[in-house]
Amino acid sequence: MRDLIVPFIFSCLLVLTAPATPQDKPKEIRGMGCVQPGVETRCLEVTDVRSGALFDLFIKGVQPAMGSGIEFVGVPHQGVTTCMQGTAVDVKTWVHRNLKCVQGTAPKPKQ
């Protein structure tokens, strides 16, 4: 029995002292489009002009005006959200872009 205890303790110590594997950084999400209200209250949505993907944006601080064109960079939102129409994104940065934003049509970059 004693012959089993020493290797067991040694293996436990190795596991406890092993360096933790760093978590992968969340994949960065980029998009550009017109800000529209979501069906759910307080949800901001953007349909990307390049891919057509729909994003639910979570922006801390100053928020873009509805109907304005923006370009954003963010990461996938972790956790539950009431905004369920598109891919939930925690926006890191955003800037205004000169887009033709018209309700009900796909936005196009201004020429």
Query: Does residue 95 sit within a domain?
Result: yes
Query: Does residue 88 sit within a domain?
Result: yes
Where residue 56 falls among pLDDT bands split at 50, 70, 90? very high
HSE on the CB side for 108, CA within 13 Å? 3
Query: Does residue 34 sit within a domain?
Result: yes
- Is pLDDT above 80 for 105? no
How many structural domains does the chain have? 1
Query: What pLDDT is stored for residue 102 in this prediction?
Result: 80
CATH number at residue 82: 2.40.50.140
Residue 49: which domain range? 29-103
pTM over 0.75: no
Tell me how far apart the alpha carbons of residues 70 and 33 are, in angstroms, rounded to a whole number.
6
- On the 0-12 / 13-18 / 19+ scale of CB atoms within 10 A, 16 is exposed
Query: Does residue 91 sit within a domain?
Result: yes
In tens, the pLDDT along 60-76 reads 999 999 999 999 999 99
Instruction: Bin 7: left if φ > 0, else alpha if -120 < ψ < 50, else beta.
Output: alpha
Helix, strand, coil abundance in the chain, percent, nearest 5: 15, 35, 50
